[in-house]
Amino acid sequence: MMRLTAGIGALMRHREAGNFVMIVLLAIVVGLIQPRFLTLETLRNVMLAIPLILIAAMGQMMVIIARHVDLSMGSILGFSAIVAGMMFRDMPDVPILIGVLVAILVGAGLGFLNGAIVTLFGLPSIIVTLGTLSLYRGFVFLISNSRQVDPQFIPRALIQMSQTSPILGIPWLVIIAFLTALASYLFLDHMRLGRQIYALGSNPSAAPLRGIRVVPVTLLVFTLSGALAGLAGVMYAARFGYVNPGITGVGFEFTVIASVVIGGVSINGGVGTVLGTILGVILLGMVNVALPLLGVSEFWQSAILGAVIIVALLIDRSVRISGQQALAAERSAR
Amino acid sequence: MTPVGSPKPVDALDSAGQQPTATVSAPQSGREFAPARPIWQVLLIRPETVTLALLIGAIIVGSQLSRFFLDISYILESSTLYSEYSIVALMLTLVIISGEIDLSPASMMALSACVFASVFQAGAPIWLAILASFACGLAMGAFNAILVIGFRLPSIIVTIGTLTLYRGLAQVLAGDRSISHFPDWFVGIDYREILDVPVPVILFTVAAIIVGLFLGMTIPGRQIYQIGTNEIAARHAGIRVQRIKAGLFVGMGLVASLAGLITASRLASVRYDMATGGELQMVLMVMLGGTYIFGGRGTILGTFLASWLLVIIATGMTVANIVVTSQLIVMGVLLITSIIATNAIYARSQR
């Protein structure tokens, strides 16, 4: 049993490569069964399924690398979306960019509050964000009076962002998502603060000894996660053209967590890359687009999501074990 | 005839592991110890006391809001809305004391109820359907246990995965239909009364006594505290940590399917989205009852009082015409403040 899991682990050690192979395999298999899958139309559908999740996944990835979890993401998304939507409705002259900025700021504020409660009282983030998941959703209903922001109030230019494109027919939404990912990559891989997030997550008790200021870094991670959820919120309005207090962002956190863990981000903190997360998001997006084409009922989506999370956790574990064994073998060889 | 103030079998003192009896007095006096804290102080800094005080406070505030509030039969009636969650929260208390957590019980309720309804709809006799529902609960609990104990994955994330998985399977099974037409004797458990007390409330009270006795009086029950306080030490002391933890997760599955059946009977129909978001209220009951989120401390008495507190608060909000959506805010704030308060109390009693 141990040897088997370790063997799989050795195969999956390079998670990016493994995920890439999975994506290609999935495309070939689904394409063989249903040739309609291998068309530009599918590529477009996959591209449009990705941006929202990708943007939020960048935030959730940082939180998980820091050995925390943000369950309130869907509610933050909903709150930012409703604030932006109501602003567009009640103040039609406001430029879109201001709306986007407000959504990001509102999200950052809620994320900061998460981080403040977690750091100030030393509480487990999962319970705190389970509480704020409910709290922020309550705010959404409260501020909107439980009323939907209808499509006619969302600015046309914003909705067109999922259709029009500056280059190569790639919609604006997708470009924004990949710019966000690029920025996250530069931050996590090339800035001191970004590296400190990894150090904090791989060993929270050693981090202060290395001169990492745990509280500010944790606050920053939660704030960024909230801000990105806020950006995803205004993108939701652009993609779907309406904001509904009872629908927008409900259950979103599970999709995001699933794509982050399948992208190879370890739930034990300290491990994970932007590229891996992007591939995880693409893989999950492809599965979701492929299912209806294969004639699988949409009712299966949530079950598959749950199965994906569990499989990803098991892979993560075998990777860890095989890594430890490789390390031990190296030591004994020396 | 209200169970609000009914005496509990568990001794109030026997729960928190160590008692904060002796503290070092003045530093210069070296090894001398201050006298033990008087009983009333020990009692005062227990989290259950806070829960009880809040409960009394909530009753007083509620009776100020409306003169119809202090109608015991009304409170008992509205408490049947929560007794499913309360029963699961009792079991969840044990899981959290052991240092783990299970976020999937609401989904387990839905899936086992959907299994029950589907088997019944397929023409099987109802006892077989009930059996199938418990088998499903057993299987789901065992699956959680295998992942958490067999594969040593953190229960927090595992049960987020199974939360999604079980809810998804319920959706696969039931689609978006609502299954009903159960026999008359099965439907409407919340309207059945014994001595003017609705059956779900009696079930909850009996369950609280059984679980409380198990936790407080039996060897495996006491060992749960040791596991939660220091798992490695517990293992070295010869406690079968894995077996006990696995038992708790399997127990969660069984209790969740019981709760699912009660809900099916109360609503007279089953849908895949039954008890959506219920995990929040269950965790809230446990936290509000003063169970320590990091494990090792907590009592069934606390959870028992806390679920009544929640019933009173929810009833009070309904009586005061506070809309259901604002209740989300109250639940969220309560959850966060209760863990902050419990942590502060335990930090104080540890000094």
Check whether B39 has a pLDDT greater than 60.
yes
Sign of CA dihedral B340, B345, A123, A319: negative
Check whether A287 has a pLDDT greater than 50.
yes
Length of chain B: 351
Residue B83, Cβ neighbours under 10 Å: how many?
27
Residue A41's pLDDT is 77
Q: Identify the CA nearest to A81 among candidates A49, A56, A44.
A: A56
Sign of CA dihedral B222, B223, B226, B228: negative
Percent residues over pLDDT 70 in chain B: 86
Query: Can you tell me whether residue A191 is helix, strand or coil?
Result: coil
pLDDT in tens, B258-270: 999 999 888 888 8
Distance CA B186, CA B183 (A): 6
Residue A74's pLDDT is 92
Task: Look up tokens 């068309």; give the residue.
Answer: A39
Percent residues over pLDDT 90 in chain B: 24
Residue A146's pLDDT is 77
For the CA atoms of chain A, what is the radius of gyration? 20
ipTM of the complex: 0.80
Residue B6's pLDDT is 42
Give the residue extent of every domain in chain B.
73-305
Average confidence (pLDDT) over B315-331: 78
More confident position, A12 or B26 = A12
Residue A112's pLDDT is 96
Average confidence (pLDDT) over B29-54: 71
Residue A11's pLDDT is 53
Residue B139's pLDDT is 95
Beta-carbon contacts of residue A208 (< 8 Å; ≥ 6 apart): A214
Residue B8's pLDDT is 42
Q: Identify the CA nearest to A75 among candidates A123, A132, A143, A117.
A: A132
Who among B161, B279, B336 is closest to A309 (CB)? Answer: B161
Q: How far is A252 from chain B (nearest CA, A)?
A: 11
Angle at A222 (CA atoms; ends A51, A197), nearest 5 degrees: 95
| DSSP structure class, residue A243 | B
Largest CA distance in chain A: 70
Greatest mean pLDDT range, B38-47, B129-138, B224-233: B129-138
Check whether A1 has a pLDDT greater than 60.
no
Instruction: Name the least confident of A172-181, A263-272, A273-282, B29-38.
Output: B29-38
Give the residue extent of every domain in chain A.
50-250
Residue B97's pLDDT is 92
Average confidence (pLDDT) over A297-309: 83
CA B63 vs. chain centroid, Å, equals 26
Q: How far is A278 from chain B (nearest CA, A)?
A: 20
C-beta atoms of B340 and A121 within 8 A: yes
Query: Can you tell me whether residue B272 is helix, strand or coil?
Result: coil
Average confidence (pLDDT) over B113-139: 89
Angle at B187 (CA atoms; ends B116, B276), nearest 5 degrees: 60
* CA–CA distances in Å: residue B26 to residues B29, B214, B350: 6, 41, 17
Distance CA B122, CA B114 (A): 12
C-beta atoms of A305 and B335 within 8 A: no
Residue A129, Cβ neighbours under 10 Å: how many?
29
**Which two structure tokens, joined as six digits, stand for B8?**
């509990």
Check whether A190 has a pLDDT greater than 90.
no
More confident position, A196 or A105 = A105
Within 13 Å and on the Cβ side, how many CA atoms surround A90?
7
Check whether B15 has a pLDDT greater than 60.
no
Q: If phi over 0 gives left and psi between -120 and 50 gives alpha, with beta otherwise, what is residue B329?
A: alpha
CA B71 vs. chain centroid, Å, equals 25
Check whether B34 has a pLDDT greater than 70.
no
Angle at A170 (CA atoms; ends A101, A280), nearest 5 degrees: 80
Who among A121, A139, A317 is closest to B329 (CB)? Answer: A139
Residue B33's pLDDT is 67
**Which two structure tokens, joined as six digits, stand for B51?**
């829960």
Residue A109's pLDDT is 95
Distance CA A248, CA A225 (A): 18
Q: How far is A157 from chain B (nearest CA, A)?
A: 32
**Which two structure tokens, joined as six digits, stand for B307?**
């679920």
Greatest mean pLDDT range, A101-105, B66-70, B127-131: A101-105
pLDDT in tens, B206-252: 999 999 999 888 888 888 998 888 888 888 888 888 899 999 999 99
**Which two structure tokens, joined as six digits, stand for B81?**
């809305």
A252 part of contact set with chain B, CB < 8 Å: no
Residue B351's pLDDT is 45
Distance CA B139, CA A245 (A): 36
Residue B22's pLDDT is 45
Distance CA B336, CA A130 (A): 9
More confident position, A116 or B56 = A116
- For chain B, the average pLDDT equals 81
Query: Can you tell me whether residue A92 is helix, strand or coil?
Result: coil
Q: Which chain A residues have a beta carbon less than 8 Å from that of B154?
A: 267-268
Residue A9's pLDDT is 54
Distance CA A103, CA A107 (A): 6
Residue A55's pLDDT is 93
**Which two structure tokens, joined as six digits, stand for A122?**
């030393």
Query: Can you tell me whether residue A265 is helix, strand or coil?
Result: coil
Residue B20's pLDDT is 45
Q: Identify the CA nearest to B111 among candidates B132, B136, B135.
A: B136
Who among B152, B164, B283 is closest to A305 (CB)? Answer: B164
C-beta atoms of B335 and A131 within 8 A: yes
* CA–CA distances in Å: residue A169 to residues A42, A155, A189: 14, 21, 30
Where does the pLDDT of residue A270 fall: very low under 50, low under 70, confident under 90, or very high at 90 and above? confident
pLDDT in tens, A91-147: 878 888 888 899 999 999 999 999 999 998 888 888 899 899 989 998 998 888 878
Residue B26's pLDDT is 45
